[in-house]
């Protein structure tokens, strides 16, 4: 194997270790990957709706970003979900949908909490009964 190929592999391995769902993380990590052409919205301080599934077809929304979170120690997902809500507020999102949580080896434990979700902006927010959508406010 040539020196250039080895260097490329080492860089790729190092970058993979920085991702939230990598077992190589050494601190709690939250990654935000903005959607292509996502609008730049102002941050806000309102609560964010967390929904396990998708929103009904009657709700007009646009995806702003994918948020991925990983912890390095044992525990539940609440701390990660609260941190995801903070990230969602920072990019102007009204909700995080398609929430997924699980445990995997990471950092310093065999079963660290991890979470993922899509941060969205509800376009027809004024005409939508957000309370009827279910979910949890964070």
C-alpha gyration radius of the chain: 17
How many domains are contained in the chain? 1
pTM: predicted TM-score of the whole model, two decimal places: 0.84
Torsion of CA 89, 91, 92, 95, to 10 degrees: -60
pLDDT in tens, the chain (138 residues): 555 554 444 444 444 445 888 888 899 999 999 999 999 999 999 999 999 999 999 999 999 999 999 999 999 999 999 999 999 999 999 999 999 999 999 888 999 999 999 999 999 988 888 888 889 999
Write out the residue range of the structural domain in which residue 34 sits: 3-137
Cα 129 from Cα 125, distance rounded (Å): 8
In the block, residue with structure tokens 């190092």: 14
Torsion of CA 61, 134, 71, 33, to 10 degrees: 0
């Amino acid at each position: 194997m040539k020196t250039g190929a080895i260097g490329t592999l080492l860089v790729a391995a190092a970058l993979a270790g920085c991702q939230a769902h990598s077992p190589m993380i050494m601190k709690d990590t939250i990654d935000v990957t903005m959607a292509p052409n996502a609008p730049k919205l102002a941050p806000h301080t309102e609560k964010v709706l967390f929904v396990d599934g998708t929103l009904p077809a009657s709700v007009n929304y646009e995806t702003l970003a994918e948020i991925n979170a990983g912890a390095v120690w044992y525990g539940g997902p609440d701390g990660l979900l609260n941190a995801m809500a903070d990230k969602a507020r920072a990019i102007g999102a009204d909700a995080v949908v398609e929430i997924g949580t699980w445990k995997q080896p990471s950092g310093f434990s065999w079963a660290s909490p991890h979470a993922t979700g899509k941060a969205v902006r509800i376009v027809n927010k004024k005409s939508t009964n957000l309370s009827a959508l279910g979910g949890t406010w964070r």
